Amino acid sequence: MVDAKRTQALAKLGVDSIGDLVRHYPFRYLDLSIVADMRSVPTGVDATVVGRVHDIKVKHPRPRLSITEIALVDGTGALIGVWFNQPYMASRFRVGERVAFAGTVVFEYGLKQMRSPFVERLDDDGDGPGIARILPVHRATEGLSTNWIRRLVTEALALAGDVADPLPARIRAQRALVPLATALRDIHFPGTPDDVDRARRRLAYDELFAVQLTMRRRRQAVVDDIAGIAHEVTGPAIGALAAAVPFELTDDQKGALHDILGDMASERPMNRLLLGDVGTGKTVVAAHALAACADSGAQAAMMAPTEVLAMQYSRAVGPLLDRAGVSWALLTGSTKRSDRDRILASLADGSITVVFGTHALIQNDVVYQRLSLALVDEQHRFGVQQRLALRAKGVAPDLLVMTATPIPRSLALTLYGDLDTTYLRVRPGGRTADHVSTRVVPMSGRSDAYQSVKDAVGRGEQAYVVCALVDESDATQARAATTEARRLQRQVFPDLRVGLLTGQMSSADKIEAMERFRSGETDVLVATTVIEVGVDVPAATVMIVEDADRFGLAQLHQLRGRIGRAERPGTFLLFADPKTEDGRARMEAIAATNDGFELAELDLRLRGEGEVLGQRQSGVPGLRLASLATDGDLLDAAREDAAALMAEDPHLDDAAHVPLREDVALRVGAAWEWTSSG
């Protein structure tokens, strides 16, 4: 039944085995037990109608446009299914046959219609309205009809659906979860909508549980299984550094330092995430941790995702380290060959204590004499593998991960569930939440907005103009930014100095552009989203974002964090004319709050985790049914259960738990590095 061509088509859907078929869950259901009649079905809503094909038409109103219309009738009226440029649809129907259409009903040209409805052909002798039946719709692909996949899933369930349940019965009972075999049957062929809910809940729990077990395991492997370095945290270097800091730490910063130094003083390796919205002052906290390494005769590496950021660290932290007598270096992709050789030698013999850098820090030939602290900033820009790679440069070094991307709690628990967390919530210097004001500016408000840039420059301040996300390609964005910079210089700001920064510029040019802006040689910096991460120019107080409604909330919030970094208040101007509901919702949200964590929750609810993670994250492997936006209660249950189970059987070696361990390994795969040996 499964020939080579179909095997290939199945592989395209990620289905290679009977097990995969069983897990090829439907993406929607047609509830034929609540079929609407054609006369009274309301427009604008999703509905299912059943009728007989009355008429089949293919029209060609214009060259290169074909419209296929299939008219269905039931006892009450008619409804037309419409397809554009899919003339072959006509051949799929016979006049007189019974079919179901599912889709959104629209009213046009005096007729009820559905555009490209989902079609289900109903056997004439079979079920119809009145007989309760929910049809699953599985993802299909070219060469594989939905019907065919449905038959195949039926067979797979018969062969493999009656599986042993790896979830301990105690947990299943406590969480009121249906047995696995029931869940698998009902997710594909439910009798009622409640069946779907119960099945989904069980299968989603399994996904979240597997991730939580893996996180626990990963944590055990670094924290419990190997002894690390007990740092000296009250030595002379940290004392001198603290004395050199020109301001008093906020209570949040003091608290974070307490957590971090407490971990560092212990032999158990630190495994901590420092979450602080932009501008909350993570850098100076990190500086103290670096100095503790000097006092302990060890080394620290601080890794940033971009060169601009790595340079900024050396600029901000380097002088503090100098005052504390701690040797340091900067190592990036553009470090000169001879300098690099010298730095590598000094790292290997221990004469350099602290190194700032980019991915250059984890290259194979970089060897540390005694790396005791791995510090990773803007974690979301790196994958788990890079975090592990830096850590692997030492023997069980402490790990401190920092991020300015406020992620919702559910996501933090899932992505970083193996890390302890510390939050910085308050911005230093008594800057309140309204230190930066946000305004959405329509087309008509542009000249006023440009005037506020001129006013700011008049006061000795500076401004950013962030160009639209034209498309995903760096090249197109760079072109657009270049054109915009020229236009602004000539037509809008002839008396100001306009600079340009794009991802396409060479690394040296980027650094120079940033330098000129920082030193005040340029007044206005036109940029693509390269500036999003970490850049700190205190005199910048105004930012304009073009086509702001096309940006994600997290990204806009990051951008906003670039201005108003010193005492002077900031103005964040969003040029936007949102056409979609979603775009409007995002503009409202960003204008309504400056709280990154609140925004992150909103973002997750607006877009779902797939989108929130986007291209930046390595993703959350194994989550198919579970939703981090809506399954918070299940996540908490899974987390609690994972902790309890692994406290009792840390490696899941107990014969009763081996099937579970194997199931988890299969689900999350090598990416999550489950190991039973530690």
Q: What residues line the site for Mg ion (CB under 5 A)?
A: 534
484 binds ligand ADP per the rule CB under 6 A? no
103 binds ligand ADP per the rule CB under 6 A? no
In a 3-state reduction of DSSP, which class is residue 43? coil
161 binds ligand ADP per the rule CB under 6 A? no
Q: Which residue's structure tokens are 């979830």?
A: 167
Pick one of 30, 134, 211, 284: the residue that binds ligand ADP (CB under 6 A).
284
Q: What are 520-524's contacts with CB under 8 Å, separation 24+?
A: 520/462, 521/497, 522/462, 522/497, 522/498, 523/457, 523/462, 523/463, 523/493, 523/496, 523/497, 523/498, 524/453, 524/457, 524/462, 524/463, 524/464, 524/465, 524/488, 524/493, 524/496, 524/497, 524/498, 524/499
Residues 614/552, Cβ–Cβ less than 8 Å: yes
Pick one of 228, 279, 357, 408: the residue that binds ligand ADP (CB under 6 A).
279
> What CA–CA distance (Å, rounded) separates 493 from 546?
16
CB of 249 or CB of 395, closer to Mg ion:
249
CB of 103 or CB of 534, closer to Mg ion:
534
429 binds ligand ADP per the rule CB under 6 A? yes
CA atoms within 13 A on the CB side of 556: 34
Task: Show the tokens assigned to 421.
Answer: 């967390």
247 binds ligand ADP per the rule CB under 6 A? yes
Instruction: Write the CB contacts of 661 (distance below 8 Å, at least 6 apart in sequence).
Output: 651, 652, 653, 674, 676
CB of 376 or CB of 485, closer to ligand ADP:
376
CB of 214 or CB of 253, closer to ligand ADP:
253
- Nearest approach, Cβ of 282 to ligand ADP (angstroms)? 4
Stretch touching ligand ADP by CB under 6 A, among 81-89, 146-154, 276-284, 650-658:
276-284
The C-alpha angle 179, 181, 182, rounded to 5 degrees, equals 65
- Nearest approach, Cβ of 252 to ligand ADP (angstroms)? 9
Stretch touching ligand ADP by CB under 6 A, among 154-162, 281-289, 507-515, 611-619:
281-289
Alpha helical stretches, state H, 302-459: 307-323, 337-349, 384-391, 409-415, 446-458
Pick one of 13, 73, 249, 426: the residue that binds ligand ADP (CB under 6 A).
249
CB of 534 or CB of 622, closer to Mg ion:
534
CA atoms within 13 A on the CB side of 500: 18
Interface of this chain with ligand ADP, residues 537 to 576, rule: CB under 6 A: 565
CB of 283 or CB of 617, closer to ligand ADP:
283
Alpha helical stretches, state H, 124-273: 146-160, 169-174, 180-188, 193-223, 236-244, 251-265
244 binds ligand ADP per the rule CB under 6 A? no
> What CA–CA distance (Å, rounded) separates 70 from 99?
11
- Nearest approach, Cβ of 426 to ligand ADP (angstroms)? 9
> What CA–CA distance (Å, rounded) separates 492 from 586?
28
CB of 178 or CB of 563, closer to ligand ADP:
563
Per-residue DSSP letter, 87:
G
Stretch touching ligand ADP by CB under 6 A, among 119-127, 280-288, 460-468, 654-662:
280-288
CB of 250 or CB of 571, closer to ligand ADP:
250
CB of 242 or CB of 606, closer to ligand ADP:
242
Instruction: Write the CB contacts of 293 (distance below 8 Å, at least 6 apart in sequence).
Output: 231, 299, 300, 353, 354, 372, 373
CB of 202 or CB of 282, closer to ligand ADP:
282
Residue 339, number of CB atoms within 10 A of its CB:
12
Size of the site for ligand ADP (CB under 6 A): 18
> What CA–CA distance (Å, rounded) separates 206 from 659?
13
Residue nearest to Mg ion (CB): 534
Return the one option of ligand ADP, Mg ion, none that residue 664 interacts with (CB less than 5 to 8 A, by type): none
- Nearest approach, Cβ of 294 to ligand ADP (angstroms)? 20
Pick one of 280, 314, 335, 522: the residue that binds ligand ADP (CB under 6 A).
280
- Nearest approach, Cβ of 307 to Mg ion (angstroms)? 15
CB of 171 or CB of 256, closer to ligand ADP:
256
> What CA–CA distance (Å, rounded) separates 117 from 80?
10
Stretch touching ligand ADP by CB under 6 A, among 172-180, 183-191, 275-283, 301-309:
275-283
CB of 257 or CB of 441, closer to Mg ion:
257
Interface of this chain with ligand ADP, residues 346 to 405, rule: CB under 6 A: 404
Q: Give the chain's end-to-end CA distance (angstroms, integer).
A: 44
CA atoms within 13 A on the CB side of 307: 17
305 binds ligand ADP per the rule CB under 6 A? no
- Nearest approach, Cβ of 135 to Mg ion (angstroms)? 52
Per-residue DSSP letter, 249:
P
> What CA–CA distance (Å, rounded) separates 416 from 421?
9
Return the one option of ligand ADP, Mg ion, none that residue 81 interacts with (CB less than 5 to 8 A, by type): none
Pick one of 89, 210, 278, 467: the residue that binds ligand ADP (CB under 6 A).
278
Task: Show the tokens assigned to 579.
Answer: 């056409």
CB of 312 or CB of 627, closer to Mg ion:
312
Alpha helical stretches, state H, 224-306: 236-244, 251-265, 282-295
303 binds ligand ADP per the rule CB under 6 A? no
Instruction: Write the CB contacts of 488 (distance below 8 Å, at least 6 apart in sequence).
Output: 465, 498, 524, 526
- Nearest approach, Cβ of 436 to Mg ion (angstroms)? 17
> What CA–CA distance (Å, rounded) separates 39 from 129?
16
Residues 398/228, Cβ–Cβ less than 8 Å: yes
| Residue-wise DSSP of 566-628 | SSS-EEEEEE----SHHHHHHHHHHHH---HHHHHHHHHHHHHHHHHHTTTS---TT-SS--T
CB of 248 or CB of 349, closer to ligand ADP:
248
Pick one of 68, 113, 146, 250: the residue that binds ligand ADP (CB under 6 A).
250
Return the one option of Mg ion, ligand ADP, none that residue 249 interacts with (CB less than 5 to 8 A, by type): ligand ADP
Residues 426/561, Cβ–Cβ less than 8 Å: no
Pick one of 146, 212, 283, 403: the residue that binds ligand ADP (CB under 6 A).
283
Site string for ligand ADP, 518-537 (x = CB under 6 A): ------------------x-
- Nearest approach, Cβ of 238 to ligand ADP (angstroms)? 17
Residues at the contact surface with ligand ADP, assessed by CB under 6 A: 247-250, 253, 276, 278-284, 404, 428-429, 536, 565
